[in-house]
Structure 1
């Protein structure tokens, strides 16, 4: 039972870190989208659709 509670704690901590990291990446993504020109966005979307 001690092992189970330790694992649950570790998983919760990892989830918390991932949520924070995801939030940071979303903010960075929004900033980059705002700074990019329409041509850059179109070029990026074309690259994503073609698989890289």
Structure 2
């Protein structure tokens, strides 16, 4: 039981780290989108299905996904 609890704590720590990375990347994406000419953004958006890295809507956090399970 101790090993399971320890693993849960490690995974929770990793989730917090990943949430932080997601937030940072979303902020970087927003800044980059502000400085890219509109025609380039239109080409990216119209080139096919939107890439998760280019999405302007925030993705669900890992915590929300874990909580839903």
TM-score (norm 2): 0.66
Aligned residues: 51
Max Rg structure? 1
Q: Which has the higher helix share?
A: 1
4+ long deviations beyond 4 Å: none
Gaps of 5+ in 1: none
> Residues 4 and 47 from structure 1, CA distance in 2 versus in 1: closer, same or farther, beyond 3 angstroms?
same
Normalised to the residue count of structure 1, the TM-score between the two structures is 0.85
Q: Please, which runs of 5 or more residues in structure 2 have no aligned partner?
A: 52-69
